Amino acid sequence: MGERDEEDRPFETTQGRDGGAGGGALTDLTRLHVHEMARLLRTGEVSSRALAEAHLAAAGRQNHALNAWLVIDRKSALAQADAADRRLAESRRPGGSGVAALHPLCGVPVGLKDLVSVKGGQATAGSKILKGYVAPFDSTVTARLRQAGAVILGKTNMDEFAMGSSTEHSAYGPTANPWDLTRVPGGSSGGSAAAVAAFHVPVSIGTDTGGSIRQPASLCGIVGLKPTYGRVSRYGIVAFASSLDQIGPLARDARDAAILLHAVSGRDDRDATSAPVPVPDELLDLPASDDEAASYLKGRRLALPREYFVDGMEPGVAARVREAVAAMEAAGAIIEEVSLPHTDYGLATYYIIAPAEASSNLARYDGVVYGFADRSSGDYIADYLCTRGTGFGPEVKRRIMLGTYALSAGYYDAYYLKAQKVRTLIKADFDAVWAAGFDAICAPTSPTVAFPMGARVEDPVAMYLSDACTLPVNMAGLPGISIPAGLSDGLPVGLQLVGAPWRELGMLRLARAYEAITARATWRDLEPAELHLTDDPTTPSPLERQARRTQGAPATGSGDQP
Amino acid sequence: MANLSRADVEHVAHLARLGLGEAELARLEGQLNHILDQYTILTTLDTEHIPPTAQTIALANILRDDVVQPSLAVDDALANAPERSGDHFVVPAILGGDGGA
């Protein structure tokens, strides 16, 4: 969205097609960025309640066609907004703490992926096995957002247990991509990505085990950051693969992603894998001026890994990424080709390690202390089989099977131990790049733009390839960010920047610099091409589209109910 | 590497405590073998002298003082229980009903 003299004319932001959300003349609050909202909230020009109302209205009106949200909690959101308004008023009062003491998220609407625990609310993780489960405590991320004063609007759709790259593996129906409602938004944080792209919230929380923040951000044309493993506490987040999972922000620009990252990061006694690494306050001060932001590129050494530009990549994706790299070079960055020689082994390695960890983590869903339980048989083994066989969807069962096999007697060395050794080699590839003095690696986020719903859901290996460019980053535990880099055939392409451990601030400054040097690009002004269709109540829901598509098609097995 | 037979698939499903129907087992046999085929690329790498990586950050033995801290109230912990009796979860019997075993 670039620089638009925002400091002087805050309300003159881009309007949606056909009048945009709510037909709101010059004051469409849903188009504001977090950094704009923060300023207006502090001066009192806009209230948190007004922001919440505007975003709730957009989400409520358009969710039928998008299915980005599993829950929109209007009552709770308005109560949180009123509380934020009181905090803001209190801080403005003479003798008050002063607005500068408030976090910029105070009063700002956010969405949470539905595997984040919010006390008293659902956390389905997109699964039937957690239907009806009520979280008895707040996750640390939730607690930190509350502390900052953020306003949680609801919970977003996702692939079941975060296993998937399209959000089609949700037990609650797929999510549509606002750029083309017949296509997937990516996954597994597809609901969080679609909600941000559709202006239902300026920022949302996702999780990324093999690309689940970056890939949907790429496919929806927004920013998505996977922090360094250990940067954000995972306490209260439904676990998938514990050595890979990391929580992070989705946003419409780098500054907003940085603000949300700042709010949720840092050591937490309740998660022993959260690292005691300081969280830089500079995350709140990414440059507003394009000139200042762009100057960060001068002399930066950026690595272009040749293994990421090979077969299977759409020419349009490769072209946008190369153009983005060329633009950064023109702005003063130094580009050098490098090799990450074990890239080709990433997919196999990941699809042993992640399912192995998942099969162990998901053993807890046994119908004994919480979640769906089938106790009809009277025999405890049979009860487990029924509970888990009925409660889990097909992709989750597939991964539990893979992981159980890879860990089983006689196969552990050949699969799991082997994969852990290859993981060492993959990490060493990245370490060599940092040792050579590079500031970042530039690569595509996804080999393709958003693909049609149904295109990969029956072919697990094709689906898994969606994350070929992102999952090595998880195995090395590194921070990675996907930022919009233009369109191919009218659909968004993401540029991925990967950094050394704990260098999120540097990645975000690079991302902000890229935004600055492309601020005048025509594609920056475009809103998702089919967003206007979601205002029409006759537009079919993603579930209706799915049903129409599979009508007459042969049954795909007893486990495939959506 | 390996090739999973139908019996192998049934065995793994039992280990994983997944009750699967005939159609699911048949589908999984094909899909799992297709995925296992992708793993064969790993056999081309010599990793004999490479140490395994289990996690990526240099943290070890994160301990805290052994003091009681606030935790979930019993009622909160039991709120999602499929079956509850007083302050306890009702769990399926895993020993024989005759009190033996």
Give the CA distances from residue A526 to residues A30, A401, A548, in Å, rounded to whole numbers and listed in that order. 15, 43, 30
- The domains of chain B, with CATH numbers, are 6-44 (1.10.20)
Predicted confidence at residue A377, as pLDDT, reads 86
**Domain at A191, CATH number:** 3.90.1300.10
- Which are the contacts of A433, defined by CB distance < 8 A and separation ≥ 6? A303, A305, A338, A340, A441
Is A365 a member of any domain? no
Confidence of residue B92 (pLDDT cuts 50, 70, 90): confident
Is A398 a member of any domain? no
Is A168 a member of any domain? yes
Interface of B with A in 13-42 (CB under 8 A): 13-21, 23-24, 27-28, 31-32, 34-35, 38-39, 41-42
H/E stretch holding A491 = strand A491-498
Do the chains contact at B17 and A381, CB–CB below 8 Å? yes
Is A405 a member of any domain? no
Whether B97 shows a pLDDT value over 80: the answer reads no
Strand extents, DSSP E, A259-310: 301-305
- Which are the contacts of A554, defined by CB distance < 8 A and separation ≥ 6? none
Closest residue to B41, CB basis, from A273, A344, A464: A344
Are A195 and A201 a contacting pair, CB within 8 Å?
A: yes
Confidence of residue B64 (pLDDT cuts 50, 70, 90): confident
Residue A371, both tokens = 């979640």
Closest residue to A461, CB basis, from B8, B38, B62: B38
Residue of A nearest to B48 (CA): A421
Residues of chain B contacting A559 with CB distance shorter than 8 Å: 20-21, 24
Burial A371-410 (b: 16+ CB within 10 A, else e): bbbbbeeeebeebbbbbbbbbbbbbbbbbbbbbbbbbbee
Are A218 and A224 a contacting pair, CB within 8 Å?
A: yes
Query: Which portions of chain A are predicted below pLDDT 50?
Result: 1-26, 554-562
Write down the mean pLDDT value for chain B.
90
Predicted confidence at residue B2, as pLDDT, reads 63
Predicted confidence at residue A553, as pLDDT, reads 53
Residue of A nearest to B44 (CA): A345
Residue-range definition of the domain harbouring residue A494: 33-284+296-345+423-514+521-547
* Dist. CA A256–CA A39, nearest whole Å: 13
Predicted confidence at residue A310, as pLDDT, reads 76
Burial A311-330 (b: 16+ CB within 10 A, else e): eebbebbbebbbbbbebbee
* Dist. CA B57–CA A304, nearest whole Å: 25
Residue A413, both tokens = 């060395």
Closest CA to A207 of A190, A195, A189: A189
Predicted confidence at residue A78, as pLDDT, reads 98
Chosen from A133, A234, A238, A401 to mutate, greatest number of chain B CBs within 10 A = A401
Predicted confidence at residue A552, as pLDDT, reads 58
Is A357 a member of any domain? no
Whether B5 shows a pLDDT value over 50: the answer reads yes
Number of domains chain A is built from: 1
Predicted confidence at residue A17, as pLDDT, reads 37
> Is residue A389 less than 8 Å (CB to CB) from chain B?
yes
* Dist. CA A528–CA A525, nearest whole Å: 10
Is A231 a member of any domain? yes
**ipTM of predicted assembly, 2 dp:** 0.93
The Cβ of residue B81 has, within 10 Å, a number of other Cβ atoms equal to: 17
Predicted confidence at residue A24, as pLDDT, reads 43
Is A99 a member of any domain? yes
